[in-house]
Structure formats: structure tokens, C-alpha cells
Structure 1
Amino acid sequence: MATARAATLLAGFILSALLLMPVQWLGLKFGFSYARLLPNRYHRFLCLLIGIKVVKRGKPYEKGACLVAANHTSWLDIPIVASLTPCSFVAKSEVAGWPFFGTLAKLQRTVFVERERRTRTAHSRNEIHARIAAGDRLVLFPEGTSSDGNRVLSFKSALMSVAQLTIVNGEEDREDDLVVQPVSVAYTGLYGMPMGRYHRPFFAWYGDMELFPHLWEAFKTGPIEVTVEYHRPVTIREIGNRKALAAYCEACCRRGVAEALIGRWEEPERAGEPRARAEPRVAGA
């Protein structure tokens, strides 16, 4: 049954992607408005197909330009986060050359950066800033790699320097600070039961794991539940500097993942973060 499930899901994933690729390409080429929303709708469908129940906590910042800083566990982070709100991602330049997945990333207007070349940091920062200033919501994974899902790695601060740049508000003739919102993603359930350390590596893609074999195992093992928490958005003016901003986002994600994995959610007084009611939501609903 597990093999049949994986084969069905893989076929559905590939077929649906192939059908929508030319539609999205045309939308981007001719500037059709649906091109920004189609990936969001597709990722909702994909989560529903795979059997990912997304439990959302908190609310995404929607009052202006925003950079999202999230922890990174798996390739599944992409459809999970993108199913909740229209967005694009910041990824390492190597992803652009990946077969199939590289094309999907380009069609979602991913910003590709060379993380290993410090001399390119300013160029990458300016590209990210230009995209956000144009109205895009970008998701950055500051760990620079993915983890095993049981912990959050240290956040790198280099690309956080984009928050030092302001966004021109043409409607009100002023410059606004760029808002950064930490978002934690935790893989918490399997078949309606808590997911333990043994099963999490089936979904966490890290180290030297091959992508397609990992994809097959994940499809065989689901369905799963994932908790996504939107933490208090801040600006670099509030925090002080980019390193402090990275530390703040890291602390929020560490706390969010830890609380989700043990099934506990602290009250708002902790760290001054506003909390909203949990909103259980099945992506695609």
C-alpha cells in the first residue's frame, strides 16, 4: 500500500506540475496578474494531494513590505509556507540548475544567491530589496542549509542587511522601514499521532540525502501534520543591527519549533510576542 501511495502521489505531483508549467510561464512572460497567485493555489493543491495538514499560528504581516525569515527542514517547506500566502523564495544558486525542481523554482520567481561568495552579498541584498519594494513577499532561510527537523541551526546575518534599506511609500510620500517576520516550521504529526525523532528524518531533507529517493520515502510515509507559526514582525531600527536581527529571528524560530514539537504553546507575555488563536487549516481547503 505504501508503494502504491508513493507512486500515485509522485505521478500526481509530476503531472500537475507539467500541466501548469506552461501556464505559469506564459503568465510571467506577458505579465498576467494570475502569475503571482497561481503558485499559492498550486501549493495548496499539492499539500492536499500529499496529505499535509497545516496548522497555522499567528498572522502573516500584511501592512506593507515584508521579508520572511524561516527555519529550513525539508523541500516540503516550500509548498507548506507557499500554501499559506503568496510568496517567492531566496535560494542558493545551485538550485537553479536542478532538473525539474530548478524550473519550478524559476517559475515561482525565486531569487538565486551565491551564499559562498561574500563579494556577491551586496548584489544579492539589492536584488532582494528591489523585489520586496516591488510588492513581493520573499522567504529567506537564514540557516543557509536544512536541518534534521529536531532543532534550529544558527541563522546567518549576511542577507539580513537588506533590512537596513527602506522602502519608498509612494502613496504617502515617505520611506518605511522594511519589516522582517520570523516564521517557524515544525513537523509535528504522522497519521494523526505525534511525530517522533525516528520518523522526522523521513521528511527532513538534510546532509547528503539524495532528493528523489527522499521524495519517494516521504510520499510512502505520510500523511503528516505541520505547525507554522508567524512570530512578531520587527524592523532593524527596533532591534539595532543585522546580527541582532538574525539572533531575534533565530530565537523566535527555536522557541516556535520547540513548543510545537512538545505540543505546548506559551502565553503572549513571553518575549513580548503577540499571540493569536491557533488556526487549524488543511491546505487546499
Structure 2
Amino acid sequence: MSLWLPSAPCTPRACVETGTGSTAAVPRAVLRLTLVVTLVLAGIALSPLGWGRIPAGWVRRWCRAVIRASGVRVRITGTAPPTGGLLLVANHISWLDIPLLAAVRPARMLAKTEIRRWPVAGALAARGGTLFIERDRLRALPATVAHIAGELRAGAAVAAFPEGSTWCGRAQGAFHRAVFQAALDAGVPVQPVRIRYLSHAGGAASTAPAFVGDDSLLASLWRVATAHGLVAEVDVRPVLPPGAFPDRRTLARAAQQDDPDGQDHGAIARSTETRGHVWAGDTCAGHAPAGAATRPHRPRVPAQTRRTVCRDSA
């Protein structure tokens, strides 16, 4: 793994809520996971049809069903253009983000190439039209951007998480700019999407769905299934039209501004960006990120900023 890849200081031990469920919730969690597995198997059965052959309405309903089966209620505000080339960009917290974006508009996801080798999920992702990128090969980046731009010109929707890493939801990384170059080259609009998870409707921000650091998918699935009252809020922001921004830097900043909790975490993270790494302060929730001693040099951030980024955003 390259030292220059984007990373977050969030870890399961430091940032993720545990104990959200009780022993009495175990049977309910088992039922939820059974429903999720059943729906995923149904998706696998349909996947040989290939990308673009399954009606978009079916995909949206299937994605909503997977999220709802896991015990998470969904609230989506705003809409995305139903047709035409479109780059959807969102902050990244959980594996739930992927079906949430597809519920807004089915799109070809960008994913690291390692996912292609995952059992079952890798084949399903490939058949679903996922665009795999080699994140640790900088020389491959221009060809990757050109390939994405070609898909956008052809009228496809492409979904990406420009932070390059998952964050706990109480902190957020800066949007990296490469994928925005593809939208500029293709002359297509950008659709910003904001995702956050609440402990209940109108409640505090929850980190229970976060899938960060060395967290395992099984542990994350169980944590979500045993939680009570989780709500996923998806805010589809106004489209950023092509030609409205002169370069990818300003386009990336425009796509990230106006965070749901009223704070521009991207601006805070950008102030600590160095050589491809983004840090929201030295620690998150008081714990140093694993491997911090081997990271490239990063400037110090005032304690006031660190407290602002890592506190509960609600």
C-alpha cells in the first residue's frame, strides 16, 4: 500500500459507537441479516443481465430494500437528473453509502481494484458496471480519468467518493480533485450528495454505521443490524452545471461546501492536506491513528480546530 494514498484518522476503537443494541435485539438482528442476504442473493441472480439492462426503477427499489432490511430508515431530499452523463460525488462513511447513492440514481461506481478480487462481492460489483481504479499507481491516473470521461460523454452516470477513504461521520476529509477533471473534460454536470446517519429521526449523529480503519465487514454489518432507530439522511444538492467552474480545484470545493451540520469540514481538512494525505487534526476522539509515526510530515492544526472536527456534529 502506497504511503501517498488518502487515509483518515478514524478507527473503530476511537470513533465508532458500540453497544447500540442489547441481547434482546439479537433475534431481530439475525432476521435483518437474513433478509439482507436474501436480497443480495436475488441481486446476484439478476447480475448476469449486466450493467444497463436492469431498469433503473428496479435498481432503486432493490437498493432501498437492502438498506431497509438492515434496519435503517432512509430519507432522501432532492432529485438527480434521470438521464444523461452525470458525476455523483458524496462523502464516504459506510458500505451503506453505495446503495444509498444508487437509490438516488443508479450509476457506475468507482472502486479500488482490490474489490474485484473479493469473493462474491467482486463478481457482483464487476457485473454491476463498477469502474475499478488502481489507487497506488499514479502513472495510471491520466488513463483512468480519460476512461471515466469517456463513460460520462456516453451518457452514463458515474458515482465517486472523492475523499478516497471512509470517515466516521463526525469528521470529513477534503475532496480530491482528479475525478472532477473527468467531469470537466466530458462537459457534464456534477451532482453533490451529502450523507449522514442519525441515531433516530431528528436525533444526534451516529457513527454506528461507520466502516473505518481495520473494521471488518461482518462486524459493521452486525453493528448496524443490532442498532435501533438508525436513519440515513441523503441530501441531493443542486446540480453544478458544466462550464460554471474554471478548474477542478474550484469545482471540487463547490461540490463539498455547505456541510449538513453547518460546518465546512472540507475547508478544515484542506488546511491540513499534504502530499495526498488529509488529516482532520492529529487525532479523532482522542486516539492517534494507527501507523501515524510512518506518515509523511503534516502541519500542526490548532487544538480549537481539532475539537471542532471531532466533536459530535449534531
Same fold (TM over 0.5): yes
8 Å Cα contact 2:95-2:211 kept in structure 1: yes
What's the counterpart of residue 91 of structure 2? 71
Residues 168-199 of structure 1 deviation map (CA, whole Å, 9 limit, x = unaligned) = xxxxxxxxx21111111111243x46134xxx
Q: What is the distance in 1 between the residues matched to 2:78 and 2:42? A: 34
Check the 8 A contact 1:236/1:242 in 2, yes or no.
no
Aligned to 1:152: 172
Any unmatched runs of 5+ in structure 2? 1-23, 264-314
Choose which of 35, 41, 46 in structure 2 pairs with 1:18: 41
Q: Secondary structure at the match of 1:238?
A: coil
Go from structure 1 to structure 2 and tell me whether the alpha carbon gap of 1:19 and 1:207 turns closer, same or farther (over 3 Å shift): same
After alignment, is 94-103 or 213-222 more displaced? 94-103
Cα distance between partner residues in 2 of 1:94 and 1:149:
24
What TM-score, normalized by structure 1, do the two folds share? 0.76
Q: Map 1:58-207; keep pairs closer than 5 Å.
A: 58-62=78-82, 64-166=84-186, 177-190=187-200, 192=201, 194-196=203-205, 200-207=206-213
- SS of alignment partner, residue 27 of structure 2: helix
Of all paired residues, the percent bearing the same amino acid is 26
Q: Give 1:256's aligned amino acid.
A: P
Q: Which amino acid in structure 1 is aligned with residue 47 of structure 2?
A: Q
Aligned residues: 240
1:7 aligns to 2:33 (yes or no): no
Once the two structures are superposed, residues 123-173 of structure 1 have per-residue CA deviations (whole angstroms, 9 ceiling, x without a partner) of 21122222223332111100000100113211111221102223xxxxxxx
* Cα displacement (A) at 1:219: 0.8
Instruction: Please tell me the residue identity of whatever aligns with 1:18.
Output: L
Specify the alignment match of 1:39 in structure 2.
Answer: 59
The separation in 2 between residues aligned to 1:160 and 1:32, in whole angstroms, is 23
2-side partners of 1:36 and 1:107: how far apart?
A: 15
Q: Secondary structure at the match of 1:143?
A: coil
Give the CA deviation at 1:11.
1.7
Give CA deviations for 1:38-75 in whole Å, capped at 9, x if unaligned: 43231121122123222222321346321011110000
Name whichever structure is richer in strand by fraction. 1
Task: Please identify which structure carries the higher helix content.
Answer: 1
CA distance in 2, matches of 1:239, 1:58: 22
Task: Report the secondary structure of 1:56's partner residue.
Answer: strand
Mark the runs of 5 or more structure 1 residues left unpaired by the alignment: 167-176, 260-285
What's the secondary structure of 1:40's corresponding residue?
Answer: helix
Q: Any conservation in 2 of the 1:47–1:83 contact (CA below 8 Å)? A: no
Contact 1:87-1:136 at 8 Å conserved across structures: yes
Cα gap change, 1:113 to 1:58, in 2 (>3 Å): same
Does the 8 Å CA contact 1:184/1:257 hold for their aligned counterparts?
no
Q: CA RMSD in A?
A: 2.2
- Normalised by the size of structure 2, how large is the TM-score? 0.70
2:260 aligns to what SS in structure 1?
A: helix
Tell me how far 1:98 sits from its aligned partner: 2.0
Give the aligned partner of residue 237 of structure 2. Answer: 231
Distance 1:218 1:32, change over 3 A: closer
Deviations 1:63-111 (A, max 9, x none): 6321011110000111222123222311111122222332332232111
1:201 counterpart SS class: coil
Asked if structure 1 preserves the Cα contact closer than 8 Å seen for 2:84 and 2:156, the reply is no
Match of 2:293 in 1: none
**Is the 2:71–2:229 Cα contact (8 Å) retained in structure 1?**
yes
1:240 equivalenced with 2:246 (yes/no): yes
**Partner residue in 1 for 2:305:** none
Q: Distance in 2 between matches of 1:189 and 1:135?
A: 37
- In structure 1, how many angstroms separate the alpha carbons of the residues matched to 2:40 and 2:209? 21
Q: Deviation of residue 247 (structure 1)?
A: 1.4
Cα distance in 2 between the residues matched to 1:21 and 1:144: 27
